[in-house]
Structure 1
């Protein structure tokens, strides 16, 4: 288990994967700030982590889709804990109804997309400039298997996670030459209230252990997977030792069109 230092900022921190990440990073030595909308639940979660690990924690209630809220939240984190070394964009909604896109409520559909894509862009906007100035930092965007394949009943979530994956690659490309890196981490199917609410996982039992997600993010924070910047890795399937020993090339683990044949003019 790599020992870590510095400050982590995790969004969607009060429950589910975010809550596991907060505790896992704190147990490894990081000071951890958690962002979420429900102030009471967030404060309880962060206090529990501080008590269990002895780490410094901070609860900051914020809506990641609200620019002023994110700006104020990041400023509070920096004031109380210091500059952010690891940003984990985990917050995000799921489609309220499992219906084809033409039957989805338009406002709720866009709320889902905004929670993932606008939320990540806003935190990146207020955290990454300081990483660049200090020439160190890691950004993890929590991806999904639905980043890479369509789902007829979760169109908003699929669009959001695909957009987030492209955002990661755009960020990583812009950061080339620096010691600031960005990654897509798919957590697999972790047993959380969100996954339990999804019809597609009813009766599912082969859950991804939360610790596998924590270990992958911790390895990124420790700088052990830097060659995977701008690419997609998956907890519970990817072997960490293999990832550490592998340097991906070309479009490996990136979103690309697949040519229809050798004569495809877009190949």
Structure 2
């Protein structure tokens, strides 16, 4: 288990599911953890449980990641309490309410899904990354998805959101070249959480990715072991960590690109 003592993580959507697992897994590795979520009682209970289980310093920050003022206040509070942010994990976000084609979706709920992932991650990165650049040290992890790579027609909003998040990660990583601040896309696979349990497509599914596999990948990123994968997509539970550590991807490997239609493709 990587020793991350002395580092501070800020994890959004930390009161339940993957965010909750990340908060505890990172705390167990020595990190102080600021957990961000909208529901105060559940968040405070989760952070208290993490502190009790690990002995780590935790801090509950109630905030709406889609609200600029709320995000700015949350980051200011987290830095004031914990001193710095070494790792930002953008995990918060919602899913399409109904499994329907986009023309049957409620327009407001559809846009809320996109906003939760894209605007939320943008606002957090916009506030946190300057602190990292000043210290010339930091890692940003955006929680991606298999739907980042291929759209599910019944989850059009979530697919759009997760693909947009990948583009944001690549843009952020490119802007940070030459510094010791890096950005990554981490797909967790299909983890057994209340959100996945609510999705009809996973009814009867049992081949869950253990949440600990997600923690291991994020912890390796926080330890600086996967820096060569900055701006790229990795998949917990499928990618072997030893292989990731020893491999330097080339060209546009694990990035979104058009596939040429043939040798004569002018965009190939």
Band the TM-score falls in, shorter-chain normalisation = over 0.9
Provide the C-alpha distance between the structure 2 equivalents of 1:253 and 1:190, rounded to a whole number of angstroms. Answer: 21
Give the aligned partner of residue 52 of structure 1: 53
Q: Are 2:26 and 1:25 aligned?
A: yes
Where 1:154 maps in the other structure, the secondary structure is: helix
Where 2:154 maps in the other structure, the secondary structure is: coil
Give the aligned partner of residue 247 of structure 1: 248
Provide the C-alpha distance between the structure 2 equivalents of 1:176 and 1:4, rounded to a whole number of angstroms. Answer: 24
Q: TM-score, normalised by structure 2?
A: 0.99
Alpha-carbon distance, 1:219 to partner? 0.2
Where 1:264 maps in the other structure, the secondary structure is: coil
Give the aligned partner of residue 90 of structure 1: 91
Give the aligned partner of residue 218 of structure 2: 217
Provide the C-alpha distance between the structure 2 equivalents of 1:266 and 1:99, rounded to a whole number of angstroms. Answer: 33
Give the aligned partner of residue 191 of structure 2: 190
Alpha-carbon distance, 1:9 to partner? 0.1
Alpha-carbon distance, 1:45 to partner? 0.1
Give the aligned partner of residue 150 of structure 1: 151
Give the aligned partner of residue 40 of structure 2: 39
Q: Write the deviation string for residues 206-226 of structure 1: whole angstroms up to 9, x where unpaired.
A: 000010000000000000000
Where 2:18 maps in the other structure, the secondary structure is: helix
Aligned residues: 267
Give the aligned partner of residue 159 of structure 1: 160
Give the aligned partner of residue 141 of structure 2: 140
Q: Write the deviation string for residues 13-36 of structure 1: whole angstroms up to 9, x where unpaired.
A: 000000000000000000000000
Give the aligned partner of residue 112 of structure 2: 111
Alpha-carbon distance, 1:82 to partner? 1.1
Give the aligned partner of residue 208 of structure 1: 209
Give the aligned partner of residue 131 of structure 1: 132
RMSD over equivalenced CA pairs, Å: 0.4
Where 1:32 maps in the other structure, the secondary structure is: strand
Alpha-carbon distance, 1:83 to partner? 1.2
Provide the C-alpha distance between the structure 2 equivalents of 1:150 and 1:41, rounded to a whole number of angstroms. Answer: 32
Where 2:192 maps in the other structure, the secondary structure is: coil
Where 1:258 maps in the other structure, the secondary structure is: coil
Give the aligned partner of residue 64 of structure 2: 63
Q: Structure 2, unaligned stretches of length 5 or more?
A: none
Provide the C-alpha distance between the structure 1 equivalents of 2:48 and 2:108, rounded to a whole number of angstroms. Answer: 34
Q: Write the deviation string for residues 167-207 of structure 1: whole angstroms up to 9, x where unpaired.
A: 00000000000000000000000000000000110000000
Give the aligned partner of residue 4 of structure 1: 4
Q: Write the deviation string for residues 127-175 of structure 1: whole angstroms up to 9, x where unpaired.
A: 0001011100000000000000010100000000000001000000000
Where 1:183 maps in the other structure, the secondary structure is: strand
